[in-house]
Structure 1
């Protein structure tokens, strides 16, 4: 870290991300100013969470010029918009702003694999992490998957492999963040309430590779027009994967088999029948994981073994239980339209679909069009329920029910579904307003299903 070790670091946000960043900084001897705009937060509790260091300052409510004058660096939590007034104050004061992953990167050792994309990040990160952990002794799976990079960075060693799921919010303030292998799985409209335009959102996603060198590798989806167009301008070696065509170099799906073409040699990886995952989008996730694993030096026999053992991650087209001949699936992580499209495409039974939630400004036409006659009933809840219903009606979807709670939704679905049907929670919306996050939403759904 180039900054003066005695300069104070201003950490913006006293949530989980801010606390973990603060802990890392105090462990390496950096004095911390922890700031949060919520003046009702308990200062004593925050101090205790950070281990009561003597050189910790906590500021709640207003961020003053006097506080800014003490800081030589700022670390921002990903949930804070970069155009927030107090962030602009920091920038105006000339203080460098780092994301939490930038901070972790500066203290981490070993090799780094970083994965982003609108959808599929968590599954691909978990699978890549398993492949690495089955082969190497020191592996850390971190980032947006639920285990903060800042929490693990100081544990890494020169021989470690870190597999990081990174979001667009985390990429907004990277400076030197440099993975040896990166992947952008896909780019579809999401978080436009934050990024404003698709061009801005796309550029932030692509910045995962901006510090990579020609000796590094970036994995891209050939079937994504934006990624294919961006590839010629990228510095690292580009390897594509495709679920729609054979590729001269990269990974591809041909019929029911996945192949790897590298340096003039074509290798059969596996059959999709060998996998415990549903849907074409998951086969794309597998191909991306295989390319990353090969790029980091893991042999194919070890990769195949890991693929055969891997199970779907929680909340992503996760099989919950079969009750009275009805299969229940939890896709609470389907927080945007494209993710929800992948989930409904993966269904092979007549489906009762539970959707709706927080309004992120999305349009739902493509989702409704993807129903393809599978959806026998659409059960809607949350702020977007009416908008989704109006869109569905345009496309001839008639059996629509409005509910006020997840409990009512599950009970309604159980009454409608018949043996041989599926009930799918795939909201196409964020959980906020009804649940604190998609994990809680999914777990509530599963508890209600188990209790039927």
Structure 2
């Protein structure tokens, strides 16, 4: 792609990283975003200034045509059905995503992990195991570091562990992981994908370029398991937290096992794990299956599994104030993840929920409130939808708040000893925050400054 005229659409982290990669590859590079320079966070403004100094052009908050460019690279957050993209596509322009672009430079084998929930925890755990196995392991993708930032530094004998989202996968063409995993599929991002069929197809794109020499790891308990298994062109191994698998990883009598080789091998007891909750048992089983399929020795898998402490913003214990435990589950950006958060708590819950509307139903989440949630403190763009669902289900212990801080302080004033305050919103953060990380960080900051 040397000397190509490339345009990057979207001024987020992935887009800026792709622009730098394209420039390093000898391309003429332009970055386009509908936002004005003054509307970006100060850190992003500095990145833009640095890239301009490298000779990268920026066209911000202006009308442009994409027809003058040889290659169009999308940031994951840019919807693929925007009219100016449809026009370019109809005119035969090559449109790909940042993940696809970076992968074309990668010589190392790729492990790709997707799913509605559990991606970050599983990717982080697999990354720790792989790092213990091979020091040249790079953890990239949706987890926080763009693939484009590292790809030219990754040696051929290294390993890439990538968390990949449906947004990233739907713009792939040749992306080819050696080992891939779909952890689960539940309704999410339907404001973007429109239908569950489209959402599932984006997830299935993780294995579309695999062959029989590659491996796809699937969850036997997932409702879309049989469909994915039928469509996958690669070797299928599975994980199951209820019953023994034919070939994969499973839990039996509170012990984790794998039977991918010639015989069944014990990994560890559930009690030896430092991560809690049924969803984390599934994440651990997925990691065992992924790493075993890749060829990591069992001893390394066991050692790293027992040491793993979990990830920030996912059922993260923050502190205890006046006998009340505070948990940050800001990464619960959909109903299924928030349900896992509720089921992970053993004390009465003062629940902070709400955020950006992703056109998903809150019914299954609210149905679990009775007997678990003492009060719901609801905020954000979709608070009316959540309140309507509460009323339908006969749950009336709720109150709406205009600001995040007001909701936190109300929970602090009302929670009693031996109860907990849980931020597990069931919604995206973008109506009030730049990211779920920013939301979780603010929660921790406010909570840690409360009188103890």
State the TM-score bracket (shorter-chain normalisation).
Answer: over 0.9
SS at match of 1:225: coil
SS at match of 1:107: coil
Match of 1:296 among 294, 297, 318: 294
- Give the Å deviation of 1:163: 0.4
**Structure 1 contact 221–228 (Cα < 8 Å) conserved:** no
Match of 1:36 among 27, 33, 38: 33
What aligned pairs does 1:32-431 form with structure 2 within 5 A after superposition? 32-40=29-37, 48-50=49-51, 52-54=53-55, 56-65=56-65, 68-69=67-68, 71-431=69-429
**Structure 1 contact 35–63 (Cα < 8 Å) conserved:** no
For 1:244 and 1:33, the matched residues in 2 are separated by 51
For 1:446 and 1:177, the matched residues in 2 are separated by 37
- Give the Å deviation of 1:376: 1.1
Cα 1:405–1:249 change in 2 (3 A) is same
SS at match of 1:251: strand
**Structure 1 contact 258–287 (Cα < 8 Å) conserved:** yes
Moved more, 45-54 or 438-447: 45-54
* TM-score, scaled to structure 2: 0.95
1:8-63 Cα deviation digits (max 9, x unpaired): 11211222222110101111212212222335569996663326234x44333445
SS at match of 1:35: strand
Cα 1:39–1:325 change in 2 (3 A) is closer
For 2:213 and 2:352, the matched residues in 1 are separated by 46
Match of 1:26 among 1, 16, 23: 23
**Runs (5+) with no aligned partner, structure 1:** none
- Give the Å deviation of 1:421: 1.1
1:355-409 Cα deviation digits (max 9, x unpaired): 1111111111100122351111111111222221221232232211222222222
- Give the Å deviation of 1:450: 0.8
- Give the Å deviation of 1:313: 0.6
**Structure 1 contact 63–86 (Cα < 8 Å) conserved:** no
How many pairs were matched up? Answer: 446
Cα 1:46–1:262 change in 2 (3 A) is closer
For 2:369 and 2:269, the matched residues in 1 are separated by 27
**Structure 2 contact 52–58 (Cα < 8 Å) conserved:** no
Moved more, 371-380 or 209-218: 371-380
Cα 1:450–1:38 change in 2 (3 A) is closer
For 1:34 and 1:144, the matched residues in 2 are separated by 20
For 2:364 and 2:158, the matched residues in 1 are separated by 42
**Structure 2 contact 73–97 (Cα < 8 Å) conserved:** yes
**Structure 2 contact 347–418 (Cα < 8 Å) conserved:** yes
1:416-441 Cα deviation digits (max 9, x unpaired): 22221111100001112221211111
Cα 1:46–1:269 change in 2 (3 A) is closer
**Structure 1 contact 14–46 (Cα < 8 Å) conserved:** no
Moved more, 83-92 or 266-275: 83-92
- Give the Å deviation of 1:117: 0.5
**Runs (5+) with no aligned partner, structure 2:** none
For 1:273 and 1:248, the matched residues in 2 are separated by 24
SS at match of 1:449: helix
Cα 1:38–1:386 change in 2 (3 A) is closer
- Give the Å deviation of 1:78: 0.8
- Give the Å deviation of 1:415: 2.1
**Structure 1 contact 101–174 (Cα < 8 Å) conserved:** yes
SS at match of 2:181: strand
For 2:350 and 2:12, the matched residues in 1 are separated by 37
1:13 aligns with 2:10: yes
SS at match of 1:348: coil
1:184-235 Cα deviation digits (max 9, x unpaired): 0111101101100000100110110000110110011101121222202311
Cα 1:137–1:93 change in 2 (3 A) is same
- Give the Å deviation of 1:87: 1.2
Moved more, 339-348 or 71-80: 71-80
**Structure 1 contact 345–371 (Cα < 8 Å) conserved:** no
What is the root-mean-square deviation of aligned Cα atoms in Å? 1.8
For 2:439 and 2:50, the matched residues in 1 are separated by 27
SS at match of 2:140: strand
**Structure 2 contact 37–45 (Cα < 8 Å) conserved:** no
